[in-house]
Chains A and B, each alone.
Chain A
Amino acid sequence: QVHLVQSGAEVKKPGASVKVSCKASGYTFTNYAIHWVRQAPGQRLEWVGWINGDNGNTKYSQKFQGRVTFTTDTSANIAYMELSSLRSEDTAVYYCARADFWSGYYRWFDPWGQGTPVTVS
């Protein structure tokens, strides 16, 4: 069974960085990408970007460009998201999700990790 298990809740001060992990199991890690999505309290889902599990290629939402970095450890099947220069507006639950590449795009996000709450205060 496919599972994504994320690291635990974080509390950070403004200006600091946070690194969230997402450990995959139940599938071949390098055959899929990992997308990151966040959800501020009471708000809609917001796409952050993706990393290809095979070659490490990335794409970031323009909103986060320059502040976010995705990496992977393919030996351990783990994806990481690091967000720097944190501000209060970054307080959110951060999710990772597996994505399938088909016909030129990632057509679905499934499954999702349980989410990692990040509080900036």
Chain B
Amino acid sequence: QSALTQPPSVSGSPGQSVTISCTGTSSDVYASNRVSWYQQPPGTAPKLIIFEVSFRPSGVPARFSGSKSGNTASLTISGLQADDEADYYCCLYTISSTYVFGSGTKVTVL
């Protein structure tokens, strides 16, 4: 089963852009568009921000965008704001019909 690796932390100043990678150890990510992203501010429940690699649910700002290249999915936050500080997790639907989450990335706004 695929393990998903994310950088432990990324940081940026307000207004800058940051990108979080999510890399699979097998071909799961390469072969699938079934990747979603979740934002988890400290002490709260996760919130859906991207599904199927690049689709944003209604209400999620366009500053959040998703993409995929090869075995790596990415989440980009443009125009970084203070309330973007949170942990971010990617999630993959695997060929075994199960779900696996990434290791998580802490975003810090400097």
Task: For the complex, count residues of A whose C-beta is within 8 A of B.
Answer: 22
B residues 30-63 touching A (CB-CB < 8 Å):
34, 36, 38, 40, 45-48, 51-52, 57
CB of A82 closer than 8 Å to a CB of B = no
Q: Is the CB of B52 within 8 A of A112?
A: no
Task: Choose, from A7-15, A44-52, A71-79, the stretch at the interface.
Answer: A44-52
User: For residue A111, which residues in chain B have a CB less than 8 angstroms away from its CB?
Assistant: 45, 47-48
Residues 22-73 of A at the B interface (beta carbon under 8 Å): 35, 37, 44-47, 59, 61-62
A47 near B45 with CB under 8 A, answer no
B93 within 8 A of A: yes
Q: Which A residues touch B46, using CB under 8 A?
A: 37, 45, 95, 97, 109, 112
Query: Dominant SS at the A interface?
Result: strand
Given contacts A44-B89, A45-B46, A115-B45, contact A108 B51 (CB under 8 A): yes
Chain B contact patch, size range: 20 to 34
A35 to B45, CA, bound (A): 14
B97 at interface by CB-CB < 8 Å: yes
Q: Judge if B69 is at the interface, Cβ distance under 8 Å.
A: no
Contact indicator A114/B98 (Cβ below 8 Å):
no
Give B36's nearest chain A residue, CB to CB: A108
CB nearest neighbor in B for A60: B98
Chain B residues close to A by CB (< 8 Å):
34, 36, 38, 40, 45-48, 51-52, 57, 89, 91, 93, 97-104
